[in-house]
Amino acid sequence: MRHATSLASDQARLIRAADTFFLGTTHPQRGNDASHRGGLPGFVRVEGGSLWWPDYPGNNMFNSLGNPAVDSAAALLFADFVTGHTVHLSGAAVLEWFPEGSDDDGGGTGRRVRFHISSVVDGSGAPRHTPHPDH
C-alpha cells in the first residue's frame, strides 16, 4: 500500500482507463451510500489535484447528487479487475451545473461532479493465486 495526497502517473492512467468506479457519500441524517458510476473508458477526467465525471442518469435515487449537496466528504474506489490494482481516493465532491444549450464539459448532461483529492491509497494488486501442485 502507498499513501499520498496526490495522484502518481500510474494511478492517473488507471483512472483515465476506467469504465466504472464506486462512489461513497454520506448524509448527516440519512447515513451512508455507496453507488456505482460508469461510462465509456475516459469518462473520468483527471485535472491536476482534482478529477471530474459527467453525472449520467442512474437509478433516479439521486444520492450521488443529494448527499454531496449537504456533506461534500466523499470517497472513490477505482479497480483494475485484471491485475487487482486499486486506487482509493478521499476528498470533497462538488456538483457543477451548466446552462441549458451551453457547450458544457459535462458530457451533455448539463452537470458534472468535480472531486478534489485530499488522500490517495494505492493497492498495488492482489497476488495471483497459484494452485497447489497436488490439486
Per-residue pLDDT of the chain (135 residues; tens, 9 = 90+): 789 999 999 999 999 999 999 999 988 888 888 888 888 999 999 998 899 988 776 545 555 667 777 888 999 999 999 999 999 999 999 988 876 655 556 566 678 899 999 999 998 765 444 454 554
Question: What are 84's three cell numbers?
Answer: 487487482
Query: Which domains, from first to last, does the chain contain?
Result: 2-117 (2.30.110.10)
Parallel/antiparallel/unpaired status of strands 20-27 and 45-47: unpaired
Distance CA(44)–CA(110), nearest Å, equals: 16
Contact status, residue 119 vs residue 2, Cβ threshold 8 Å: no
pTM of the model: 0.81
